[in-house]
Structure 1
């Protein structure tokens, strides 16, 4: 079978869906990656994927552009001769589903998170909900990554319950992301936040929490790893980031295709996001045996058992985040080691990508 995987970024396909693609190829399927070219086309081809480029903006709602995207996806699906379409992220989920419907190609969709569309109750949010309600009449299956997102779609009558199912996020390769030899806590306890530098990831709250902790003269180190976003009004500017680093508030680590060494060198991974699907960075950190701190919101709370492998903090509350970070930094070596083991245990039992792969295999089998 020719399986199309459609996402708003070739980087996303390569970094987050490779375990799924590898399983499909081993099963004898041909995999067609359909996405904008943002630098990972050759890597995908080298792994055995065909690649078709499409123009797709990640953000924004422009009716004329979006109608054009439906047509472009329609032509691409037809040219690529895909037999089933696996959609991820909002625009493929909506417009890709419509294009597939026009060609009578079955769709399996994955709501990887609701993002700013549902965090901000504005006109864009209302339009998105109308579009979801219309497009989600057609998929054979729609996977959600947490119970909160699924419940919200059902409550707003955006989808029929009979076509829904839950996944443990995108799954994690527990052999690739695993603890290395224990090296104990750093001489200076180190926190790491990995995320695109968007306001909705809680970047400002992280900085404000750091300022609170620095006033207490605690021996702590704070790191930030992630891409600077250029979307107007949504991301931290280069000027603001430079100001924070020059003031010695946070160490900016840039971006990385492989985050394992950064996670391994941290004592605790933090994500004060406003809402997630199931955050990949927390899954990677848990699988590598790191204690976690995250907001008590949809998606994040799935990765933490309070007091067992980490702490949950209040959303948009820098003071509470600072308190949880201080509490983590003051834990003893045995307490941290126990949390580390519990994070790894949770990742292995709940978030292994093998669970995701099996769910997709079953969904594809049912479309035949």
Structure 2
């Protein structure tokens, strides 16, 4: 089949879903990527994917801009004539689904997180729920990365129960993220946070917790690894980050194309996020045998066993996070390593990428018999006006 994959950043496919793409290619499918252009595009093209740039405002909540985004999806779908669309991230899921429905185009979204609208609450959440309810009438299957999000969508009647299927995030390549030797006991303990520097990732709480912990354990080090993301409405001001670094509170490591050396050097990986789909950085850390500390919120709590593979703390609470870090520091080095070892075992049981690949292969196999060629029938493709009439 011709499979079109759409997401709000091409690097998302290259970094997180490359194994799925390779598996689908090995099955004989033709892959087209529809996403904003970035530095990962040459790698995607070299791997055999066709790439089409998608113009979209990733952060905006402008109804006019989103209307035109839906129009662009419709034009791309009619032009490319895929047999099925696989989608990730909020806007691609919503407006891609709305554009695919009047074309009769099979559309399989993956809920990687609920986004700022749900975290904000109020009118934004009401609008978002209405959009999801309308957009997700059509898909036969909706993948979720944690049970909390799945149950929320069902309880709020955003989808039907039979549409939902749970997968463990994007899965993890356990060979690539292999176990790393635990840091020696004489080395200063390092708490590493890997995330875009956004408020709803809990960056401020991480910094405040660092201040509290270092007052009792001055040798402890707190590191931030991730993009500054100034285009995002919830981004931390770069000047603020520089101030934290100048004060010696944290070490800002910038970005890294390969996070494994940083995880290997860390004693514990921390993510005090307000909500996630399935936090990739924690899955990678656990796969490499590192204990994790994260918040007791949807997504985050699904990748940890409290007290077994790491520790949970309260969201939006620097004090709770600091207490979890201090609890970790009070352990001997062997006990710390044991947390990481048990985390690796959990990843092997529950988060192997083979589970995700099998789920996609199953749903794609159910569609294959409907197509006699690798293109949609001509009668299914309407005009731009038809798309807008059906959506409205």
TM over 0.5: yes
Verify: 1:220 aligned to 2:220, yes or no: yes
How many residues of Structure 1 are paired with residues of Structure 2 in the alignment? Answer: 368
Secondary structure of residue in 1 paired with 2:240:
helix
Structure 1 distance, partners of 2:64, 2:82, is: 26
Partner of 1:42: 42
Verify: 1:98 aligned to 2:98, yes or no: yes
Partner of 2:382: none
Partner of 1:360: 360
Structure 2 distance, partners of 1:65, 1:93, is: 16
Shift in CA distance, 210/183, structure 1 to aligned 2, threshold 3 Å: closer
Is residue 61–residue 124 contact of structure 1 (8 Å, CA) maintained in 2? Answer: no
Is residue 181–residue 264 contact of structure 2 (8 Å, CA) maintained in 1? Answer: no
Distance apart, 1:232 and its partner CA: 6.0
Distance apart, 1:105 and its partner CA: 1.3
Partner of 1:79: 79
Shift in CA distance, 138/185, structure 1 to aligned 2, threshold 3 Å: farther
Shift in CA distance, 182/249, structure 1 to aligned 2, threshold 3 Å: closer
Verify: 1:141 aligned to 2:141, yes or no: yes
Is residue 180–residue 289 contact of structure 2 (8 Å, CA) maintained in 1? Answer: no
Kindly name which structure, 1 or 2, has the bigger radius of gyration based on alpha carbons: 2
Structure 1 distance, partners of 2:337, 2:216, is: 25
Secondary structure of residue in 2 paired with 1:236:
coil
Is residue 140–residue 367 contact of structure 1 (8 Å, CA) maintained in 2? Answer: no
Is residue 314–residue 320 contact of structure 2 (8 Å, CA) maintained in 1? Answer: yes
| Mapping of residues 172-187 of structure 1, within 5 Å | 172-185=172-185, 187=187
Structure 2 distance, partners of 1:65, 1:182, is: 49
Partner of 2:373: none
Is residue 4–residue 33 contact of structure 2 (8 Å, CA) maintained in 1? Answer: yes
Structure 1 distance, partners of 2:61, 2:157, is: 21
Is residue 185–residue 267 contact of structure 1 (8 Å, CA) maintained in 2? Answer: no
Partner of 1:66: 66
CA RMSD of aligned residues (A): 1.2
Distance apart, 1:60 and its partner CA: 2.4
Distance apart, 1:185 and its partner CA: 4.3
CA deviation string 1:276-332 (max 9, x = no partner): 001000000010010000001000001111111100001111111101101112211
| Mapping of residues 106-255 of structure 1, within 5 Å | 106-185=106-185, 187-231=187-231, 233-255=233-255
CA deviation string 1:37-69 (max 9, x = no partner): 022111100111000111122222222111111
Structure 1 distance, partners of 2:95, 2:40, is: 23
Distance apart, 1:187 and its partner CA: 1.1
Verify: 1:7 aligned to 2:7, yes or no: yes
Verify: 1:301 aligned to 2:317, yes or no: no
Structure 1 distance, partners of 2:186, 2:31, is: 43
Shift in CA distance, 186/28, structure 1 to aligned 2, threshold 3 Å: farther
Is residue 110–residue 144 contact of structure 2 (8 Å, CA) maintained in 1? Answer: yes
